[in-house]
Structure formats: structure tokens, C-alpha cells
Chains A and B, each alone.
Chain A
Amino acid sequence: MDKITQKLMQKSESTKKDSLGRAISLAALSLIVIVVISIFTFVMSRGLSTFFHDGVHVKDFLLGSTWNPSVINPQTKQPYIGALPMILGSFIVTFLAAIVATPFAIGTSLFMTEIAQKRGAKIMQPIIELLVGIPSVVYGVIGLTVIVPFIRQIFGGSGFGILSGTIVLFVMILPTITSMTVDTLKSVPRHYRESALAIGATRWQMIYKVVLRAATPGILTAIVFGMARAFGEALAVQMVIGNAALMPHDLTSPASTLTSVLTMGIGNTVMGSLQNDVLWTLAMILLLMSLVFNLVVRAIGRKGELK
């Protein structure tokens, strides 16, 4: 074979480079997938060892209402590992924060997209964008220096508790939900609005009967995202909730959430002990909940597509 044939039969320099580049970028992508898989494997395996290795019943863990892993219950010969107080605490602050934040977020986004676009774009848009990026410890500091003393003055007690946690989370997820809702409202086609106005609807009728209906899946997605952020938020909540692993019976007494117990506890326990394993089980619940939020967002997206 002469040289030219040989050269033509071989891969060219740029084809080789192309396969190399492709391989490198695929490797980078695979690395991310491997990280996700290993996070799940390691956290799940540690979290499940509470049940398989230490022999704790799932029911005792999820429904037990006393949390004190370092003390043994004389009747059952098991430590007190009822995680219900924290699970309830997490869900209550998350839902309350979302319920309070939703009307504010929707109202603000309507203002920005339907009523005063100019002022919305000039004043509100930059504020909201900046606040999405504010670190959560700063929200915690504000909670500690403003909200907790305020609650203390009004309701008495220590001021720490679910109400303070809710308010901090409300302020934290408000910008998130608002900016996502604004995006959804903006994606509602203009001719929907024009058609509504053309058949004589007032602006509010147009908003209420057309725009909000068309944007419902997007708004729900925004709310779920906000809830996911609230559920997983650790430090800001931990600073204001009071960190008492007791069943929450009112809004102004100290309580705790999954994340707050985790941040407080994981450094003070020995790897492999039951006290440590139960904390990993809490982390596993957090992991699974963020999976659930993801699935909910997908389900909403699929329903929205069908229309």
C-alpha cells in the first residue's frame, strides 16, 4: 500500500482529537452521575443500618415521639429513637412557610408581569434576583436578631420555635418562588391576554380566569421548589427553632427539624454507634424527600404538557 492510501485509510488527526474530546467530556459527565449514585449508596447504606444492623423497628423510628438516643428505655431495652418530633417539625415549617409565601409570591409576580411591567422590571426584578443569592446564614442572623426577640415580646416564652422558623423560611423562599412564578407568567402567550380583553374581560378577570389558569402548572412547580428548599434548609432554621427534640404542640415553643438535629448532632457521636446511625437515617429521610419533591415536579410538568 502506498503512503496516500495508508493516510486515507487511517483516522485523520482531527477525528482522533474529536474522539479524545468526546471521551473527556463524557468522562466529566459520568463523574457527576457517579457522585450522585455514590451519595445515594453511602447515605442509604449508613441510614439503613439503623434498621438492619442495630435492629430498630421502622415503626418505632418513624412514629416514636421521644428522641434521646443516648438514653436506654428500660422497658424495651432500646434507646429512645422516635424521630416523629423532627419529621413533624420539618413538615410543619415547610408547609406553613409555603402557605404564607404563596399568596405574596403570586401577588408580587402579577404586579411585575401584568400590572406594572416597567416598575416591576426596574425595581422588583433586581431586588428579587439579589435576594435569591443571599446566603442562608444571613437569614438566620436576621431571624436571631429581629424575629426571635419580636416573637418573644408578643407571645412570651423564649421566642425560639416553629413560628420563628416559619417566618425565616418564608422570607427565604419568597424570592425563589416569586422569580420562578414571574418566569411562568411571562411564558403565557400574549394572545391569551389579548383575546380575554377583547371579549370584554376586566384586567382582573383576564388575570384570574386566563393567565393564572394557564400558568397553574408552572406556579405549582415554583411552590414545590420553594418547599424543597425550605425542607432542606439547615442553618437558618437551626438558629431560630430552639433545637428541642420535643413533639411540637404549639407554634412558639422550641422544636426541631431533621436538618437542625443533623447539624447539631453528627459531630458529637461516634461513627458506627447507634446514636450516629439514627442521624444518618434522618439524613436518608432528607434525601428521599428531595427525591419525592423531584418526582412531584415531574408529575406536575407531565400534567401541564397534556393540555
Chain B
Amino acid sequence: MRKGLIKGEVLAQLTDVVGQENIGLSEAELLCYSYDASLAAAKPCSVIHFQDISQISPVIKILASHNISFTPRAAGTNLCGAAVNMKGGVILNLAKLKKIRQIDTVSQIAVVDPGIVNLQLQNELAKYGFFYAPDPASQKVCTIGGNISQNAGGPQCLKYGVTCDHIEKLEVVLPDGSERIFSRQDPGPDLVSLFCQSEGTLGVIKTAWLRILPMAKKITALTCFFKSVEDSMNAVSTIIAEGIIPRALEEVDALSIKAGAEKEEIPQEAEALLIVELEDANEAIEKKVLEIFSSSKGFSYEITSDPDKREKLWKIRKESYPALARIAENVMVEDGVVPRPMLAQAVKRIKKVLEENRLRAGLVFHAGDGNIHPNIVFDQRDKDETKRAKIAGEEILRICLELSGDISGEHGIGVEKRKAMSLRYPQETINLFYRIKKAFDPMEILNPYKKLPLSSGQIKPIDRKEPPLTSKATKIVNIARERFHTKKPSILTSQKADNTSDKKILSSFELTDIMDFDKGNMTITVESGMRISALKKFLKEHNLDVALPLDETTLGAAVALKLYPSMRSLITGMDLLLSSGEVIRLGGKTIKSVSGYNLAPLILGSRGAFAFIISMTLKVYNPAFKEKGKVEDPLIEPMPNFNDPILKNIKKAFDPNNLFNPHVFGEF
């Protein structure tokens, strides 16, 4: 694979579709598409510059028919190497596909091409008083296609959720060149969510329907300095634990403050700066935040709603990365995430690692969702320093994992964190991810060698101190194992039933335990047999609530039948039992995580045909600080089309022997 791959017949066919001038084969062009914003690099054999979205499918059909691998790429700002073709195949340059097809302020939808730059879209929307919530730091250059593939976050995502929560519909080109549209309205498993965060390994995004929102009327920014990072972290934890949901909750450490603030006057003893932004907030909430500042030993705080002054307050945060870039040849932007109460501990340990490796780094946090970005400065030409930076990077991820966190909050896995995936997930989970990838791309020609570790079983995953399964759950796991050996099918239910192994039933009825309740993190992990009403009752005793209506259904049934589609954004983690008896633990207590494939939403509406839900982790909130949303009526979905080959392939990835609810898919 490499040179000379695109010639003769292939070249002629491609030329027919895009024209000779849009096929790059020169050494200079190949060099320019061998990198993205990460340290990963690999030279492709060709670059295809698309001029219209209608060219994507025919080009992919040609490449697929010749078994040539390809990687989609737009702005190339990826921080983990997702936009580099590791197999020396073709780069699909989508950067010029940047049309905004439609802005519909009535149904609050924008329809766009994949190459539209995030900020350009925002500017267009602003004209109508609307905005698109995900606002990654690189929004000036990064594209919507890339944002979707990476499930990008940003400061505003604390309040509004990450990219996945804002995609209504996707038109994608699959690895064989066929086109499909996936919508949130489709009954059954949520394939839109699966594409978010897939890092261009399942399909190429052709058109996206985005949810847009009316702009807030008033935004208040509150800033405060602290004498130690620990103090500021305490303030963060208190704000979160109070149930206040700011629009953004950002923190910068001393090195970053000093780098970012050139002329601004910064108090001498400032070790951390916290920025809290509230949207259309009443005075009571503002007052509460100021109180928390003061009780956490904060000083010289400021509060303003004036847009110009707000921008000034933000300047230090926004300038910190640029300023670091000025003091060093390279900046490695690490990206780890922990449950919010663990932040202070994480920072302490990360600092120690940096010190041990003689490295300088500015720490910048999306503190509100536990996302830490240590920006390590080094010189790539200094081999030893580069090595130390990489070691420290890995060590930081280990720390996050040990604190029940994750290896990426928003940047993704790509090439750079493939090894860390082995630290994060046990082999059976990685195998499941791999089967999902193969369900879409059996020839493995779309963005190959990404997201998953290349070696298997060599690295032991780190103990993330997840709550252990209850004895009742373990019993069910054992029954599933037994049945797997004898290839006996099971009917999954939440009704009361006898689970003994000679029967055909697998019931979650008895799984009603609370496995973990972390008030400081605002999450709860409960078993799937618990009724929504019981969960709400428990939370009420702690002055909290979950954004679900009062319902006697169990959580497991609500998920399996997709009674409340919005549950998708409440769930941060899910424990699944496969028909093979393997236990898959997805996500966890972190608010953001983009490691692996986004599988939990697939279970939503899967009608028990994919996996048995053991438990799930849900976000909770404090009703005192949140407006009451509309009460959602349970959705009675039409039967999904389980003859869809994609759903069938996914079913095979989860349950190859059709042992769970075999009637759903029938014979295959």
C-alpha cells in the first residue's frame, strides 16, 4: 500500500467523478495531508478534493471496489490523529464542502455540509438571534463534520450538552459507498448517537441537521481568584453540589494566568482563576455563587453582564493556550476527565507527575464537567523532552482512570490514545467495539487502525473503582453464561419471573439497588429493575430529582422501549450483560467521555435484543435551581425495522447467536 495505488483504472474512474485537478498525487500535497494537529503522521497515497457532496458516494464506491482505504478530513485540527490515514490510503478532503443548506428558525434546525466551520455557522445563526451550542476552543477553524465525528465539547456544553445532543439527523455515506439517513425520529436504536464520536470510522458525514437555539437574553460572568487550586476546586464542587448549572464553569491555573494576562493586573498571590457564566439567571443564583466564592476563600471577584467587560474577563482564559504556544516549540494538549469531586485530587497528582518529569504545563479546565487540559510545553526536536512529555501524558491518563475518570473528555482516541484504550477497557469491551466497527466496515477500509488498540490482552486495564455488581446481578450474569454454553435463548423482561437457569426468562425485577450515589458529582448509579417513581422518591429525600416524569415503569424497560428519548442525554454510564455472559461497563460517572464508541444510546429502543441492562448511571439535578421543563409523555414507538441490514449487523455484534429476545430479529 502506498505509492502508485491511484493509477490506471482507479485513477480514470476517480477522474471521471471529481476531475483531474481534484486528485492530489504530488509529493508536496501528500506531505500536507500526512498530519493533523496531533503528533501522528502518515503519508497518504492520494488526496481527493471534493467540490460537491454528491461526489462522496461515487468516490467511495470506486475506492471500496478496489479495496483502497480512505480517511475523511476537513480542517485537520484533530488533536489525536483521527484525520491521518495510517494505512497509506486516500485522504478525502471535505474542507470545501461548506454550504449552509438551510436555517429554519421555526423548527430550530440548520442543515449544513460537513466542511462548514463552526464559527462561520455561529455567525450566520447570530443574524437571526440563534446559536449552535457546541463551542470547542478551535471553533474558529474546526468544522461541523469533525465536531460530530469527535463528539466535540466546549465551555457551553456544561449547560447544553456535547455535540451528540444537538444532532437531529445525519446523512452518511457508508464504507461501501451506499448512502443512508439516520434520524432521531427513527424508531429503535439510536444510530445518530453512534455516529457522533465514531471518529470517521463508521461512515462519512454528508449532510447534518443541527438543533439550533435562541440566544440567551442576559449572560452574567463572575470571576474570582484563589490562592490555591484546591480552594478553587472546592468552589467548583460546591457550585455543582448546590445544583447550580452555569452556562460555563472554567478554570485556569497560575502558569496559564500569567501567560494569558499580558497587561491585565493580576493579584500577586493568585494561583487559580475561576470563571462562572450564568444565563438569564436571577439575582438569587448570582448571590449564591458569590457566597460560594467567599466561603471557598476566593478573592477580588468581579461580576458583569456587559458584553465588552465579559469579553475582557474571558481574555485570560482564552489567551492562555496562545500564550503557552509562544513560550515553547510544541504544546501537547492532554485531555482527561474525572468525576467532579475528584478534581482537586487529580490536579495535585498531575502536578506531581509534571514535576517528576521536569515538564512545564499550564492547566486549563472545563471544571464544570471535570475535564482537565494540562497543556504540556516541549520541543519536538528534543527527543528526550518529547519522550518525557509522552510519559507524563500517559501517567496523567492513568491518574484520571484511577479516580474513576476517563482518558478523553472531548478530543478523542484516534491514534494517540489507542494504547490508553487498553488501560481503560477490558478486552471483552474492546472486542465489542471492534465488532461494531466491523458491522459497518467489514473490509476495514474506512479510516483504518483508529480508536482501538492494535495489540490485545497485553496491558491490564486500570481498576477504575467502579461499584461492584450486586450479588443478585452476579447471579444473572452466571445464568447467562450457563445458557450461552448450551446456546439456550432467553426472553428479557422487567416483570417478576423465575430466573433459574432451566427457564427461558431473564428478569431484572430484583435488581433494585442503588449502587452509587455521588451527590457532589450529581450522579446516581442504579440497577435497571428500579422503578422511575422509586428513584424519584429516593432523590426527593436529598432535595434532588431526575429529569424524568413520575412513572411506574422500571428504568431498564424505559430504556429498552425508548419510552423517553431524552433519557439519552441523562445517561452517563451503563452496565450491560451480553448473551455470551460478558459484562460490558460503558461510560461512568464522568459527565463527558469520548473513549470508545457511543454504545449506550444503541440500547435505547433495542427491545432487549442487544443486551441485558444491569444498571445505569444518571445525571440528577437540584429542582431549586432549574426551571421545570415540559413533562414528557411516554412515547409509544412503532416497531423499528429490524430487517435493516445495519441493525442486523449490530445485533450480530452484540449477540451473534441470537440468544436474547430472538423473536425481535427472527432468523438471520
Asked if A and B bind, the verdict is no
